[in-house]
Amino acid sequence: MSSSGERSPNNQERKFVYASRAIVDGKVKYIYKTKQVSQETYDFHQSIKMRSLCYDREEIHAWRTTYSKIYRAALLDMDIQGFPASLMLTDADSSLLEKIKTDCLGSFREAWEALDKSAKAPHWKRLSLWLLQNSPHLALEFLLVTCQSVDKPLFVMVSDCFLFLDKYHAGEFQPWEKGGHTYVSLLLTCLDPSNWPVAHLGQKGVRLYLKNAGPEELYHAWTIVDERRNHIVSETWLCFMRRFTEFGDIHKSLEALELVRRREQDNFLMDSQGVMRHCCKLLLLDSVQDTPNGRNFYILPKLLKMGVRPDRDMMNIVLSNAFKTGDPQVGFDMFRFMRRQSLEPDSFTYLTLLNDAVTRGDRERVQSLIQDIRARGLEKNDWIASKIFHAHFTFNAKHHDPNDDPNGVFYSLLDMYNQLYDIAPLKELSIIPPEYTPPPGGDNLQPSLIALYLMIATYLRCQKRISHAHRVYTKFKALVSQDHPVIAPLASTDHTYNEFLVAFRDDPRGLRPAVRLVEDMLHASNQDRELDDRVTVHGKPSVRTWTILMSAFTFNKQPLAAEKVREMMAKHGVEYNQVTWNTVINTYANAQNIAEVAKSIKAMEAQGYSMDSYTMKCLRYLQDPERLWIAVEELDQATDARHDMVTSLDQRPLEHGSDEDEHLLEQGLRRLSERKESTR
């Protein structure tokens, strides 16, 4: 972003005077500044004025004052008092209004274009206010027509209209479409930066545009204000910064922040809350880079150089970034730095430290942190409680010793759950009996999704009866279908379903429930119904889900059924990962199908995966391993035939209608089962 505009060849400059509004000691204060611009920029500003509808200062003030009354009345749900007679509809306005109501994009457009510029201005100011009050949907069509006219409405008045519509009616406009426009595309068209005046630019309208802009529109606006040197305040530069951050453009975000620093605007200095909050979001993109002076963060040093002095919130993000480097020592160094700067740790700090310790499996560190957390009274924080519970699961249930009593492992986690959460959801899932009474002293908080998931996973891992898994899944499915406020959100991802699949996998009687489970996921995720914020969006089967289902048939020595699963994966366009390929290879190795093992290895390598220790373990099942390597060599030599190999990788998803019956998988498996029984 340049610091000065282009000068004209004769070096002439013009001046604009701005009054910046600020709150100082609780009072409104206006700071007047003079800005010099090139003759070219000044001429462009004049051209904007020439093609805009003309109002004197008193007219604009009267319109905006009345607009403010309409805005406030809508906010407080009250009638408007003192509506000026000069802004009431005339007979000529009413005639135009009838055309707006009947055919805005047709007959009204023709009538509007037939008016001269001086006639449009009074009509526009009265019609716009009436439509905002009485017909917001027609207001959109009115703005579409008038903003596309050669004679443009004033940007500040158009932006006020959209600020009102966006505040009170944006939700209604989501399905709106007219003249090839959606609500957002109309807003972006009417507030196009090409029509932004250089001086006296309405900043709220600019920020509304930026908030709705995509990458292309954002960079267009950035280029416009760079070339024309539009008057931009710090709050708007911060809006640029936030959008660039959201689009991952670190360089432009830092440029926008530098412009905030240069303005030195009251309430937006580098130590202000607004600036610091935007810096926190930018730091989420930070990473460590190798420099001539060693490894260092990329963004943090630049913020420090600009004069940003990190507070605890910012240092918490730096701490999190430090642990993400993979070197815990960097994180420990940052934590010590925070303490030296008298930045006392809060719940976010401890959440980061706990996450690192759990990830590294450092049980002693976790216990030490929990003691500190309890000493500071932070253990009831929702995120901290969930992480402590997760740590207990990781160290005691996830990889418990096979010699441990499964009931002891489960009840150990249940005791921890009782200290934190409400027991009712576990009873509804039939994980614990209805008559169970938790010990006194628990907090009875609503359980987090993680806590519920971990209790389900632990229960399924600690008991091995297929009937129990089937009972709990039946309860889970019913509660999800009822949109249970606590349990239904678990269905938004595949994780809980995968735990049930693993439980079904270990017993031949679980194969059919496993197939039905995947069918349930497909059916729920494909349901055609209008969703609102209260309805759970169901997760689709992931590659892990399909792989577990395939492994269930492999484990139970049903390779034909496993192949049927592969066909379904191809139908749904599921790409294999390393685990999937190992499962496929394991299936063929168990069946002593050396040719398919060789093909699968080659297909896996073609997808970019190499054989690992799990692959080699699968190959131990082969009775004639030498034959495998001969087959691999033969495939290497037959390069001209490679394109004929059919795998799920190169199969295209089959075309099918949205109403196709998803029972194909279960029917195929049933036929396989019946065929097997008939041969006995």
Which neighbouring-strand residues pair with 502? none
What is the pLDDT of the chain when averaged over all its residues? 85
pLDDT given at position 654? 33
- In contact, 515 and 501? CB cutoff 8 Å: no
507 domain-assigned: no
Band of the pLDDT at 1, cuts 50, 70, 90?
Answer: low
Band of the pLDDT at 292, cuts 50, 70, 90?
Answer: confident
Least confident window among 239-243, 346-350, 547-551, 641-645: 641-645
Residue 336 has pLDDT above 70, yes or no: yes
pLDDT given at position 664? 40
Band of the pLDDT at 603, cuts 50, 70, 90?
Answer: confident
pLDDT given at position 611? 86
pLDDT: is 302 or 327 the higher one? 302
Nearest to 96 by CA among 118, 128, 73, 55: 128
486 domain-assigned: no
Residue 94 has pLDDT above 50, yes or no: yes
Residues 6+ apart with CB under 8 A from 166: 187, 208
- In contact, 379 and 385? CB cutoff 8 Å: yes
Report the percent of the chain where pLDDT is more than 70.
85
- Token readout for 604 is 């896996």
Report the percent of the chain where pLDDT is more than 90.
55
Q: How many folded domains does the chain comprise?
A: 1
Q: What is the pLDDT of residues 20-79, one digit of tens each?
A: 666 667 676 666 667 777 888 888 888 888 999 999 989 999 999 999 999 999 999 998
Band of the pLDDT at 323, cuts 50, 70, 90?
Answer: very high
Rg of the Cα atoms in the chain: 33
Instruction: Locate all alpha helices (DSSP H) within 135-172, ordered by sequence.
Output: 136-147, 155-169
Half-sphere exposure of 640 (CA within 13 A, CB side): 0
Domain with 199 in it: 63-256+293-306
97 domain-assigned: yes
Residues 6+ apart with CB under 8 A from 424: none
The three-state secondary structure class of 421 is: strand
Q: For residue 22, what is the enclosing H or E element? A: strand 13-24
Residue type, 561: A
Nearest to 395 by CA among 445, 353, 360: 360
pLDDT given at position 680? 45
Cα-Cα-Cα-Cα torsion 671, 677, 679, 680, nearest 10 degrees, comes to 170
**Max CA pair span of the chain:** 101
DSSP E strand boundaries for 59-125:
none
- In contact, 369 and 354? CB cutoff 8 Å: yes
405 domain-assigned: no
Instruction: Give me the phi and psi of 46, to 5 degrees please.
Output: -65, -35
pLDDT: is 7 or 635 the higher one? 635
Find the length of the chain.
680
Half-sphere exposure of 108 (CA within 13 A, CB side): 27
- Token readout for 547 is 């792989």
Band of the pLDDT at 373, cuts 50, 70, 90?
Answer: very high
666 domain-assigned: no
Say if residue 179 is exposed, middle or buried (CB neighbours under 10 Å; 0-12, 13-18, 19+): middle
pLDDT given at position 668? 38
* CA dist., res. 144 & res. 95, Å (int): 19
* CA dist., res. 128 & res. 144, Å (int): 12
* CA dist., res. 650 & res. 77, Å (int): 60
pLDDT given at position 18? 61
Residue 8 has pLDDT above 70, yes or no: no
116 domain-assigned: yes
670 domain-assigned: no
The single residue listed with the structure tokens 């040719």 is: 595
146 domain-assigned: yes
Q: What is the pTM of this model?
A: 0.73
Average pLDDT value for residue range 579-600: 84
- Token readout for 597 is 């093992």
Q: What is the pLDDT of residues 140-154, one digit of tens each?
A: 999 999 999 999 999
Residue type, 6: E
* CA dist., res. 518 & res. 475, Å (int): 16
- In contact, 211 and 178? CB cutoff 8 Å: no
Say if residue 264 is exposed, middle or buried (CB neighbours under 10 Å; 0-12, 13-18, 19+): exposed
